Every structure is written in structure tokens, then in C-alpha cells.
Structure 1
Amino acid sequence: MVKLIHTLADHSDDVSCCAFSSSLLATCSLDKTIRLYSLSDFIELPHSPLKFHTYAVHCCCFSPSGHILASCSTDGTTVLWSAHSGQPLMVMEQPGGSPVRVCCYSPDPTYLASGAADGSVVLWNAQSYKLYRCGTVKDGSLVACAFSPEGNLLVTGSSSGDLTVWDDRMRFLHTEKAHDLGITCCAFSPQPLSGGEQGLQFYRLASCGQDYEIKLWVVSFTRVLGLELKYKSTLRGHCAPVLTCAFSHDGQMLVSGSVDKSVIVYDMGTHSVLHTLTQHTRYVTTCAFAPNTLLLATGSMDKTVNIWQFDLETPCQGSMNDQLKQLIEDWSEEDVSTWLRDQGLEDLIGIFQMNNIDGKELLHLTKESLAGDLKIESLGLRSKVLRSIEELRTREDSLSSGIPDEFICPITRELMKDPVIASDGYSYEREAMENWIHKKKRTSPMTNLVLPSLILTPNRTLKMAINRWQEIHQK
């Protein structure tokens, strides 16, 4: 279970961001200040609040050591502070003076990234305080950024909805339209999904946006073979734009905050909703997990920051966590009702119960049966149900086979033997993709968009990872 253990109400305007070090919590606000609290008792430090910015403070983050705090503002600056004394150490001005919306440290303390409203992203040398490299996204403001766990990739998100991936020298690698109405936040899970050898690890990335959705991606990268950004699934539950998301330190949970005033905690093993927290009275703008402990901070336009404590000894009630340990085909009608509720489809529970839809029937539903047998008239609602069912089918395959999902061909749903990268950025079994192109011409199996090229590139990195997994798990 999770319980509210403290509420901080010191800011005089909207709380825009909160961040943890191992011993401190920092919060910043449109009131132009940053406040610091001790994690031992949540008492504000004597040198808090920190005042320097002349306009709203949008983001703050600690260096990996926790000794330095960075903050950025509408005033076009990113300021570095001593976390222990509160003294400003350096003021770094964004080229062009555009309002700075977001900042983040690399996992080692070498670099600090800052993103601005004019679409510029700057990589600062955090030791010399000098500008190292900079880049610009094609459209929109820079509103989100996150370093990969190894620090070799930087992902930025824009108000136009694009995720852009850069290497650690600010060289452009890839861009992807992720959210039609604009991205609001992105975050890497700190734990790799699979692999182990250097260059053969896969990482989970979450993004959220104005379209009410949280999307999960798998990112793989080597300097020899390049990058792959692959869409995996969508988490639903909010009924309004999602403004923030963050992973727990062990990668097992993801938290999100929304315009609907709620905070949702998801189980990353099952993609189910663990908790829905509704204590904030206005938009939830920020959330952050503490490193190494299960403390959660959530901030809001209600000017407060709530501190939550997770109790791992108490089983989670009202979630799908236990139910998803069994195969979905074995779900009862009540399990299906719980799943519908977790997907934000409560209005369909009566229809599904009336038609005795259990797990086996759920997995066999089609657009024809939804419209004809269940009489669901709304095309959008039918599409949402079908997308959620497709995610369940994917999860069923993974649960029953034990194969990491990134090793399964999206077309055949079988372990890939000869993976290739198509021009849509996704990996497929070569034979399956060649047959698809022959039958479907130039469309992508994942996006249904026209493929810019029919060239298939061998994904040697993925093939090596699959071979290594087989050696370990299929002896």
C-alpha cells in the first residue's frame, strides 16, 4: 500500500518540479523560488528558499552526487547551486535568451542538458560550466529531456509531439512522432530490460503527452550499428492530458500525474494500475521517486507537494498484479471487469458482464464482434478496446513463452532468428517482413504508414542478444 506521510505547502504559486537527492528534496515553483527539505524530517533547510531567478522556475535536478542543484527559468538561465549552502555557483545563459523549460544531469556528473522554448537544447560541461555542444529540434518548444542510464544517449521531447534522440556529443540520431498533441515529459527506466554485455542492453523509455496517454518504448544503441527506438505499448488510465511521469529506482513502478488531478502508479511487470491517488485539488504537474527508497513526491498547481511512502509488506489491493500472474486465458469475468476498470473503460463493464466475457473470450474479440455482438457503437471506443486487447495478446505471448518481448517479431509473434531493421525503425523476422512487403507493398506493420524505403538492414546487435539469451535460458 501507499500512504500520504507529509504535505509541503510553502510555495505561493504553482509547483512546477520536484527532485530528490539521497538526503534532500528540492521543489521549485512559478513563484520564482526553489525550496530545499531534509528527507529525515521534511523540515525546510535554513538557507531555503533559494532566490535568484527573476521569472518562474520550471525545472530543478540534483547532480549524481547530490552536492549541486540545477534550476532553470523563464528568465533564460540555468543556475547551479550548492545544495549544502544554497549559494549560486554559476549562471549559464541559454543561447538566444529563450525561456529554459527543462534541465537534467547525465548519470556521471560530466554534463548538464537544458532545453528551451525556441527548440534549442544545450549540453553544458558541468565541471567547467562551459557550453559543450548544442542542437535544435525542428518544430516546437523543448519541454522534456532524459539521459539513458549509461549516459550515452539524450532523449528530448517537444511541444510538437516529437521524441528526438541524440548521442553524448549532441549528434542527431533519430526522431519519432510520439504524441499527436505534444509531449509533456519523458523518462528512462534506470534498469536494463535484458542483455548484460556492453552495447547489448535494451532500455525502457516512457513518454507522456497532451493526448491523455503514456507510451512505453524500447531503446537499443551501439556506436557500430546505431539506434533503434521501438514503440511497445500504451498505458491508459487518465482522462485528461498527462503532464509528468517517472520511474522508481528499481524500474518496477511508473508514476504519472495529470490535468485530471490524479496520480497513477503502474506496475511495470504487468502494466496494471497499482494505485490511483486523488489528494491534489488541481493539475498534477510533477512527480519524482527518491533514489534507493520508495518515497514519492507529487507537486501540483494547488501549490502543494505531497510525500508518499510505499509499504512493500502489504499486498496491493484493487489492482491486476496478482491476476496477471496467471495466463490471461484463465481470467474470470470479474478479472475482465477489473481489467476494464484499470484501462479506463468502466462504462463497458455492464456490456461485458451481460455477454459473459471471460479471459478466453476477451482475447478472441474482433472489431466485428465488438460492433455486432456487443453493440459498441462508438468507433473510437471500439478502437481503444482493440488496442488494449492487442497489448494483452502481446503480454500473453510473453507470459507463456518467457521470451523477452523485444526478441519477438511483431508479425509472427515468434522468437526472431534473422532480425532486420525496416525503414519504420522497427525490427522484424526477415522472412516475415519480406512476405509482408510482397503482399502489403510499402506499409509498416506497426504504424500502417508508407515505408520510406524497402531496404532491410540486418540487426546484428539484436541477433547477438537473442543468441546470448538462448544460450542462458534454453540449455
Structure 2
Amino acid sequence: MVSLMCTLHTHRDDVNCCVFSGSLLATCSADKTICVFCAGDFSEMPFSPLSGHGYGVHCCCFSPCGRYLASCSTDATTLLWDMETGEIEAVLEHPGRSPVRVCAFSPDSSYLMSGGSDGSTALWDFTSRTLHKSGSVSDTSIVACSFTPCSQLFITGSSYGDLRLWDLDMNHLHAEKNAHDLGVSCCQFAPQMKKDADGCVQFRLASCGQDSLLKIWIVSRVSSADVKMQLAHTLTAQSAPVLSCAYSADGQMLVSGSVDKTVTVYQANEGILLYTLNQHDRYVTACAFSPTGPIIATGSMDKSVNIWRVEDGASAHGKSPDESASVSSNEGSRFRAHSRLMVSQWSEEDVLSWLREEGLEAVMDAFRSNNMDGEELLSLTKETLSSDLHIESLGVRSKVMKKIEELKMSSVCNGTPDEYLCPITREIMRDPVIAADGYSYEREAIESWINTKNRTSPMTNLPLQTTLLTPNRTLKMAICRWTTNQ
């Protein structure tokens, strides 16, 4: 039996990843934030949300001890967060300044791996926070990665469809070509490994992809240079691309999420379908098992994270979750518009009125003395709240930043046409321009992207044939008419 425990509504855009430590749950989103919850009662931590990335956050992962959280983003960085304070502990810039799609810690905490949209792979020495080795695969994006339980090997999955095994010196040991037609979405090693009398070590690997399949592989390492992969099971319970997969801590169960909006739970060794869960309204993009109990977290493009409990005795095939289960909901606060102006057009009095409505009276004097208007409000960070406004309490700074992020995303929640939002910043465009890929962007955002991202398209990851930007006057007029009528 599987029951829905609660639903978390803290993100304002697609949820891209969710991951557990022993005591915490972290989720990251296209809204540029990472939210952190207590894994006991799923209350949000005082320092959450974490706001340090300039663009959407694709992936996050905990260090094995749970003290640190790594997150990676389109902004070409992997950030390390201290989970005791919520502060940034280190910034790792990806080689070549490519957008970072995925990151993973080695089980022994020695290394952190990150993969880029240009096919590059960076292996970081976690102790020194320095680059250990780097490599690349041409004409593809690295979208998945996982370390073996022994921490001596890691695997990468690409948008081209290959799975590739590497050692810690970035020697390429094995390539499983076309493991998933149209591209790999996710891959993860089971936590356990086996060793036979001849010294051959075996690992189990789950992978999923755009071919709507979830596959289980046996990876055998006969010697340091001799590695083989054999397909054990092909699972076909989902009818659309499978975007995520994860093993339970004991390796006995496997969960996956799909574009068909379903979550499937399998008995991992034999690939037997146990449950199909149907509570999400859009694509299921992320899933994770808790390491301390039979709890599953699933994230979706519907902006929610569902928390499920897997009860003992799960043996029936293909059952749906318990219909009588009690479902609670953490709706999260929504921005209550007090002005019909865009936030960037707010006066100082508008800002003060907003602070009062959101219960932030404690910081009103600091904002008043600094003459903060709407444009300055949107540019605030945790650091400037401390250094410029002298707000010392971390909890208060986190609360203010959470409300500001809600402001930035409120246009999405309040029905702003998607074509009025810049694909990079997800904010209403003021000076839209058309790039060589045919998409419209905020001029400042795409110029910054071109200057730092090797002239690739933010939407397709393909090279831009020219850096010429053409003003989109028709779109600008449409946005002006729409904002005037709001």
C-alpha cells in the first residue's frame, strides 16, 4: 500500500530535482531556488529558500554526511551550501562556462562530479574544492550521472543516448551506445554491490530515457580496465518519456517518474511493477527515496512535490495508491497584489505597503531609511540585506528573500502569457529581442548569456549562427498593452 502523506507547494515554477539526506529533503526548481525541509515533518527550514543562482536550478545533491548540499544551474556554476547555516560555502565554475545540468557526490565524499550541456564533465576534489580532472564528449549534453557504491567509478548519461563509464582519472572504460533512443534522462547505481570468488565486482544500474523505457543493467568490473554492461530488465509500464529514477536505500525498490504524469514503483531485482501513482497534474520530473524510511518524494512540472509512504507488505502488482489515505497540503503563501503596477515600477510607498501586507513590519524602517523602490527591491540578495540594510537575522533575511522570489514569480501564477516571459530569467520582458535561434529574450539576459556561454542557444543548446539581436517591437507593444490593462 502507498499513501500520499502531504504535498509541498513552495516553488513557483517546474520542480527539477528532489533529494533526501538523513534528516533533510531538498528540492530545486526553474524558479532559481532550492527549498530545504525537515524530513521528519516536512516543515521548511528557517534558511529556506536558498537563492544564489542566476538562472534555473537543474539538479541538487547532498554530501553523504548531509552537511553540504550541491546545486547546479544554467548559470554555469555548482554551488555548495552549508546545511547548518544555509550559506554558500563555495562556488565551482564549470570548465568552459557551460550550463551545468547534473551533479553527484561520490559515496566516500572525496569527489563531486558535474556535467555540462556542452558534453563536458568536471570531477572536483571535494576536500580542497578544486578541479581534479575534466573531460568531454562531443556533440551532446551530459544530463545524468552516478557514482558506484565503491566510489571508484562513475557513469554519465547523455542527450545523445549513450551511457559511459569512467574511472577517477577520467579514463573512458566503457560506452553503451544508444542505451536509450533519443536520449538518457537519468541514471543511478543501486547502493549495494556484489563480489564473487574470482574477484569480479558487480553493480546494478537503473537508467531511463526519452524512449519511454526504464532499464536495469548489470555492470561487471573484472579488472581495473575491463568493464562490461549487460541489460537485465526493460520496464515498459510508462507510456511516455521517463524523466527520473531512484533506488531505495536497501536497493529492493525502484521508483520512476514520467511525462505521462505517473510515478511507478517496482520490485527492483526482478523488475516487477508494484504500484502506479497518479496524483501529479503534469510531467513527473524528479523522484527520490528517503535513506531512513519507506518515504518517496516526487517532483513535477505542476510545481508541487508529493510525499508518499510505502507501507510494509507491498506485494500486489500494478495497484494505485490507497484511495482512503489522508492527504494534507502545505499551500505556501501567494502574492496578494496591492498595486496594478509592475513591481519594477513600484514607489517607495508601494514597497512599504507590500512589506506590511506580507507581515514584514520588522524590516520596514530599514527599507524606509534606504529609500527602497520596486526596482531596488527586485535586485536585493541575502548579502545586500545584511551589508546594505543591516538586517542581521538569517531567518528574517531568508523570509524577505522568499517573499521577493514570490514577487518575481507572481506573474507566472497570475496568468501572464508565457510568451511575455524571458526564457532565461522567467520575468516579464521590458526590451525583448529575437536571437538567431528564433526565440525572444530580454536583451540584457541574452547579451549576458552570449558573452559567457560560448554562444549557444539557451533553448536548444545548439550554436547560434550569429550574435545579432533584432528588437521584437511587436512583442514589446503587446507586453505594454497587457501590463497597462492589469
Normalised-by-shorter TM-score class: 0.5 to 0.7
Q: What amino acid does structure 1 have at the position aligned with 2:261?
A: K
8 Å CA contact 1:245–1:257 kept in 2: the answer is yes
Deviation at 1:222, TM superposition (A): 4.3
Q: In the superposition, relative to structure 1, how do residues 137 and 310 fare at CA in structure 2: closer, same or farther (>3 Å)?
A: same
Q: Provide the rounded CA distance (Å) in 1 between the counterparts of 2:8 and 2:309.
A: 15
State the partner residue of 2:229: 229
Structure-2 separation of matches of 1:301 and 1:64: 28
Q: Is the 8 A contact 1:70 1:78 kept in 2?
A: yes
Amino acid at match of 1:16: N
Instruction: Find the counterpart in structure 2 of residue 45 from structure 1.
Output: 45
Tell me the secondary structure at the aligned position of residue 131 of structure 1: strand
Residue 224 of structure 1, CA deviation: 4.4
**2: CA distance, partners of 1:319 / 1:118:** 39
Residue identity in the other structure for 2:88: P
Task: Tell me which amino acid in the other structure corresponds to 2:191.
Answer: P
Maintained 8 Å contact 1:246/1:255: yes
Describe the shift of the 1:186–1:115 C-alpha distance in structure 2 as closer, same or farther (beyond 3 A): same
Aligned to 1:414: none
Shift of 1:196: 5.4
Question: For the Cα contact (< 8 Å) 1:213–1:241, is it kept in 2?
Answer: yes
Structure 1 CA distance, aligned partners of 2:258 and 2:306? 15
Q: How far apart in 1 are the matches of 2:110 and 2:128? A: 9
Equivalent residue of 2:96, what SS? helix
Q: 1-side partners of 2:170 and 2:65: how far apart?
A: 24
Superposed, which structure 2 residues align to 1:322-401 within 5 Å?
A: none
Change (3 A) 1:47 1:159: same
Corresponding position of 1:188: 189
> 2:66 and 2:260 mapped to 1: Cα distance?
32
Residue 171 of structure 1 corresponds to 171
The structure, 1 or 2, with the larger RCO (C-alpha pairs under 8 Å, 6+ apart) is 2
Query: How many aligned residue pairs are there?
Result: 318
The question of whether the paired residues in 2 share the 8 Å contact of 1:33 and 1:52 is answered with yes
Equivalent residue runs for 1:444-463 within 5 Å: none
Amino acid at match of 2:258: S
Whole-angstrom CA distance in 1 between matches of 2:89 and 2:152 = 26
Change (3 A) 1:55 1:315: closer
| 1: CA distance, partners of 2:128 / 2:198 | 29
Cα distance in 2 for partners of 1:54, 1:273 equals 40
5+ residue gaps in structure 2?
320-486
Deviation at 1:316, TM superposition (A): 3.2
1:232: how far off? 2.0
Which residue pairs with 1:263 in the alignment? 263
1:231, CA displacement in angstroms? 1.8
Q: Could you tell me the TM-score, scaled by structure 2's length?
A: 0.64
- What residue number does 2:15 align with? 15
Partner of 1:282: 282
One-letter identity of the residue aligned with 1:96: G
Distance of 2:309 and 2:287 partners within structure 1: 13
Hey, what's the Cα distance between the residues in 2 that align with 1:154 and 1:262? 29
Structure 1 position 3 matched with structure 2 position 18: no
Tell me which amino acid in the other structure corresponds to 2:291: P
Q: Do the aligned residues in 1 keep the contact of 2:298 with 2:306 (CA within 8 Å)? A: yes
How many Å separate the matches in 2 of 1:197 and 1:190? Answer: 21
Aligned position for 1:220: 220
Q: Using the aligned pairs only, state the percent identity.
A: 54
Give the aligned partner of residue 316 of structure 1.
Answer: 315
Amino acid at match of 2:192: Q
Matches within 5 A, 1:235-254: 235-254=235-254
Q: Output the CA distance in 2 between the equivalents of 1:224 and 1:33.
A: 40
> Aligned with 2:308: secondary structure?
strand
SS at match of 1:51: coil
Counterpart residue number, 1:452: none
Matches of 2:256 and 2:11, distance apart in 1: 22
**TM-score where L is the length of structure 1:** 0.65
CA distance in 2, matches of 1:79, 1:198: 42
Which deviations, in whole Å up to 9, do the C-alpha atoms of 1:256-297 show, x marking residues without a partner? Answer: 000000000011233211000000000000000111311100
Letter of the structure 2 residue corresponding to residue 142 of structure 1? I
Match of 2:207 in 1: 207
Look up the match of 1:140.
140
The more displaced of 225-234 and 156-165 is: 225-234
Cα distance per residue 1:389-424 (max 9 Å; x no partner): xxxxxxxxxxxxxxxxxxxxxxxxxxxxxxxxxxxx
Q: CA deviation at 1:198?
A: 9.4
Structure-2 change in CA distance of 1:197 and 1:239 (3 Å):
same
Contact 1:139–1:158 (Cα < 8 Å) also in 2: no
Q: Which amino acid aligns with 1:317?
A: A
**C-alpha distance in 2 between matches for 1:24 and 1:199:** 37
Deviation at 1:220, TM superposition (A): 1.3
Alpha-carbon shift at residue 96 of structure 1 (Å)? 1.0
Contact in 1 for aligned 2:173/2:225 (Cα 8 Å) = no
Alpha-carbon shift at residue 225 of structure 1 (Å):
5.4
Contact 1:30 1:55 in 2 (8 A): yes
SS at match of 1:220: strand
Question: CA separation in 2, counterparts of 1:8 and 1:94?
Answer: 31
SS where residue 191 of structure 2 aligns? coil
Unaligned segments of structure 1, at least 5 residues: 321-475
Is the Cα–Cα contact under 8 Å of residues 274 and 314 in structure 2 kept in the other structure?
no
Measured in 2, the distance between the counterparts of 1:137 and 1:166 equals: 12
Partner amino acid, structure 1, of 2:315 = C
Pair 1:108 & 2:95 matched: no
Q: Which amino acid aligns with 2:214?
A: I
SS of equivalent to 2:195 = coil
Structure 2 residue matching 1:84: 3-state secondary structure: coil
Deviation at 1:215, TM superposition (A): 1.3
